[in-house]
Structure 1
């Protein structure tokens, strides 16, 4: 393991663990020998101290720590000293390797440690014989299994965090793409139609062509201003331009005038008492109207449009209808376009409902209901 991956807190904790196990070894080894009827020798406590103190570097150098602890523990057992707290140091060393190293590396290291520990079963001052192999194996298998479980859980948590970060990033990219699509798509559609009008009238009625070019200039400036506001909101590290209003239903008159300049008369009908809306609802309602009217510009042909706003106590209903071509030939291809999908996602994110299809008198109808209490 890279030693730089452990912080000071981990190093202090490991040092404390080493000192605690050292104290347990110095205090508990003698009584363990008495209980087993086995005495201690000159090398007993030095080996206990080496095995315990090596754990101070267990997370910085897990393989080296396991090697030192295994050597000390094996020598301890081969010399015939009693089973005691030194085995706790060995357990911690095996656990650390399993918890902080890749599975293959940890398995090889654990196997080598087990083989070394089993030496005392057949060789030593007081070899326990094959009956001692099972307890010795348990001191490797159990901490290895626990360490592997901890490592897998930690890796799963890390993957979940990465997946969540990726999901949030994707959602943010989709939101930005939707905003830019609505702003740029509407502006370009209006400019395109106004440019066609100017080209058509340039030779015969230059004064009307001039009016269309003036409308193009105004529309492009408004679209750029709105795009600038949108991008400023996205880039939260920069201060928003207080002079530029955030997109909302308050800009509906400008939108209506822009469409009228492009040759699509728009009627706005309001039912209920207009009031200040939550920012998210205000933006969503405006974008639904804007994208619906953009679709009228692009696909409806010669048509008029009606925007209806119905304010209720707990919801706002937005409806846009037109007298143009129906949905069969509207998009030029079967199935809903990106604009309709974007509107549906925008409304659905606020807990509202969205429908689009043939209008009651032909043409096309878009309707969105946005709850006010949940979004407030």
Structure 2
């Protein structure tokens, strides 16, 4: 699986139909040839056993040909090979290659997770052979031979269990990787959605304020409407540039980085200039020594300040705002105050404040919205370094 941003590309490992069909035919064909010739060869070396005949060949082919359906009907194949092998043994044909089909069927069935069917077939074949020979009065095997066959059957079952356990671990690791990539893709989609919300909300708010101002002045003082229209033009252009940059991350998945610079505190002055054109005077106070920040932290700090100013422009009846940035040893502290109308009670938290808090929490920080002593809104974010 290859994941780039929110796009997940699944690479199929399924073989083409023709190639898969050849593989399905190859196994039973090879086992049929080996089992038939092996059984005839064993008959020549075991003169005390029943001589080879057409019924022996039929029993051998029933088990080997049934392997064709091993991947689609493993349980049926296991019991088919077990029954044909049991009849073969009770008929006292020569011991030998007939066991190949049954061993392969049991091994594959247990490895695929059909443990009950596999182990039941092993026990049924072993007990059926031993008890059947006792009932028929043809039991010429020693205790050593009986225990040896039982041991070999147990070894076969435990080997199949070992491979099944390994297969499950591989599949579990693959599922874990897929879930991790899906989780990362979801986080990336959420991050892009937050970026789009912040960009659109901020610039549309500025455009709305400037448009209202222009409409108010166009008839009474038309010469003063020009700055407002110019601000609308700049805000809309800036919005288009940022939207193009964000959408470009989705479209140009083969690029190592977006073409436009990532929004960070180095663009704070540009943000404040655009906000000031909307009629909100913004003062910036920096404590400590400014220094480069990790990309995620830098972007989150910029977006928190941007969203705070957007809330002030949209909702607060304020003429000025103060942005304080403190570079501490362990955390970056952001504080945004406005001089809006005096209100009482806790501030109402809309999508803007919730989104800012999610950004801070994702970085292991905190964000609070409270009232200043004068009753205006104060946003304080602590982002750990």
Q: Common fold, TM-score beyond 0.5?
A: yes
The answer to whether structure 1 residue 196 and structure 2 residue 208 are counterparts is: no
Shift of 1:321: 1.5
Structure-2 change in CA distance of 1:185 and 1:6 (3 Å) = farther
Residue 193 of structure 2 corresponds to residue 180 of structure 1: no
Equivalence for 1:359: 372
* TM-score using structure 2 length: 0.69
- In the other structure, the counterpart of 1:320 is 336
**Residue 142 of structure 2: aligned partner:** none
Matched ranges for 1:230-309 at <5 A: 230-237=246-253, 239=255, 242=259, 244-309=260-325
1:215 is matched with which residue? 231
Match of residue 341 from structure 1: 354
Q: Distance in 2 between matches of 1:127 and 1:291?
A: 90
Q: What is the 5 A alignment of 1:36-51?
A: 39=49, 41-42=51-52, 51=63
Output the aligned Cα RMSD: 4.9
Unaligned runs of 5+ in 1: none
- In structure 2, distance between residues paired with 1:82 and 1:303: 102
Deviations 1:25-79 (A, max 9, x none): 969x97xx99xx9746436996669857975884477478547634541332231
Deviation at 1:370, TM superposition (A): 2.6
Give the C-alpha shift of residue 119 in structure 1: 7.4
Structure 2 residue matching 1:203: 3-state secondary structure:
helix
Which residue, 68, 73, 96 being the options, matches 2:85? 73
Which residue in the other structure is 1:93 paired with? 105
Matches within 5 A, 1:143-182: 146=161, 160=176, 163-182=179-198
CA distance in 1, matches of 2:18, 2:370: 60
* Number of residue pairs matched by the alignment: 345
The 3 A distance-change label for structure 1 pair 68 and 76 is same
Evaluate the alpha carbon distance shift between residue 256 and residue 174 of structure 1 in structure 2; reply closer, same or farther with a 3 A threshold.
same
Secondary structure, counterpart of 2:220 in structure 1:
coil
- Deviation at 1:347? 2.3
Q: Secondary structure at the match of 1:319?
A: strand
Pick which of 89-98 and 206-215 moved more. Answer: 89-98
When the two structures are superposed, what TM-score results if normalisation uses the length of structure 1?
A: 0.70
Cα distance change, pair 236–280 in 1 and its aligned pair in 2 (3 A): farther
Shift of 1:168: 2.9
Q: For each residue in 1:107-148, what CA deviation from the matched residue of structure 2 results, as whole angstroms up to 9, or x when unmatched? A: 8999999989987665996577xxx9xx8xx98xx68x9598
Alpha-carbon offset, residue 170 of structure 1? 2.3
Note closer, same or farther for the CA distance 1:111–1:238 as it changes in structure 2 (3 Å cut): closer
Q: Distance in 2 between matches of 1:175 and 1:3?
A: 37
The answer to whether the Cα contact below 8 Å between 2:90 and 2:132 also exists between their aligned partners in 1 is no
Q: CA deviation at 1:88?
A: 6.2
Contact 1:73 1:117 (C-alpha < 8 Å) held by counterparts: no
Q: What is the alpha-carbon distance in structure 2 between the residues aligned to residue 73 and residue 3 of structure 1? A: 32
State the secondary structure of the residue aligned to 1:351: coil
